[in-house]
Chains A and B, each alone.
Chain A
Amino acid sequence: MENNINGRQLLQAVNEASFYMQDLQLYLDTHPNDMTAIGMFKEAAKQYKACKEAFECACYPLNAESSRDEECWDWLRGAWPPQKL
């Protein structure tokens, strides 16, 4: 249960960083010369990668390529939508 609560917090950090990045991405599509937004996007992308890595180390892979267990196919582990973490 404690693991789940920690996992939820780590996943929430991934969701927030990813959402921030994605929203900037759409904005930049129609404002490609906004240098401030480009800087913000790069920061957001770094943040997202760090949060994703932290979640995957503590919980389970979010992409198949992040699979790290050498003994079993751990890609199948974790909460697949619509399962709740």
Chain B
Amino acid sequence: MFIFEKRTQIPVRINNKNPKLAGIILSQYGGPDGELSASLRYLSQRFSMPDNMGIGLLTDIGTEELAHLEIIGSIVSQLTCGEGAKSFDRYGVGDYYVDHSNAVYPQSAAGAPFTAAYLQSKGDPIADLTEDLAAEQKARATYDNILRLSDDPDVNNVIRFLREREVVHFQRFGELLNIYQSKIQRT
């Protein structure tokens, strides 16, 4: 089960408003390589991992991704909090405002709504973990792109933390994949 703790994994304190930047960062909420995609991927794949090491690691990383989803939602919300229709329009994101106003909706930066088609759950630990390694690199690359597009230090500090976590997850998934591959080779 899951227990909620009333804090974000690291503090989110954004001072400036910027609906355009919010729309870019929203991709890590409901986009193809975003945190929702990551958490659903691992929390679904865990049911078919062959042992407790696999089930445990996917559960723990999937749970951390949910904490990251909350961080991204908080950034988007703070960047748009109190901004009206005119401000969204001035920043070039009036089309988001017309459907969602100041709400946080899971979609990509280009406006495609979240879909489970972004992820796979194959029932084959080698296939699943290979996907997970790629997923972590794609998320890392997306954070790199966000850092290229954003010059808000309050935002970038948090994004850098999230980027680093993708690298750690990649490392752990790689270790698990190696353990499984050497088990197969011994049989």
> Could you tell me which A residues sit within 8 Å of B by CB distance?
8, 11-12, 14-15, 18-19, 22-23, 25-27, 29-32, 60-63, 78-82, 84-85
Query: Which residues of chain A are within 8 angstroms of B6 by Cβ–Cβ distance?
Result: 60-63, 78-81
**Complex: A60 Cα to B12 Cα, angstroms:** 18
Other A-B contacts than A15-B11, A26-B60, A27-B172, 15 sampled, CB-CB below 8 A, are A8-B11, A19-B9, A29-B56, A30-B57, A31-B175, A32-B53, A60-B6, A62-B5, A79-B6, A81-B70, A81-B71, A81-B74, A82-B77, A82-B78, A84-B78
Q: Would B5 and A81 count as touching, CB distance under 8 A?
A: no
Count B interface residues, CB 8 Å.
31
Interface secondary structure of B, over-half rule:
helix
**Complex: A64 Cα to B25 Cα, angstroms:** 31
Residue of B nearest to A77 (CB): B6
Q: Would B60 and A29 count as touching, CB distance under 8 A?
A: yes
**Complex: A28 Cα to B77 Cα, angstroms:** 35
Query: Which residues of chain B are within 8 angstroms of A79 by Cβ–Cβ distance?
Result: 6-7
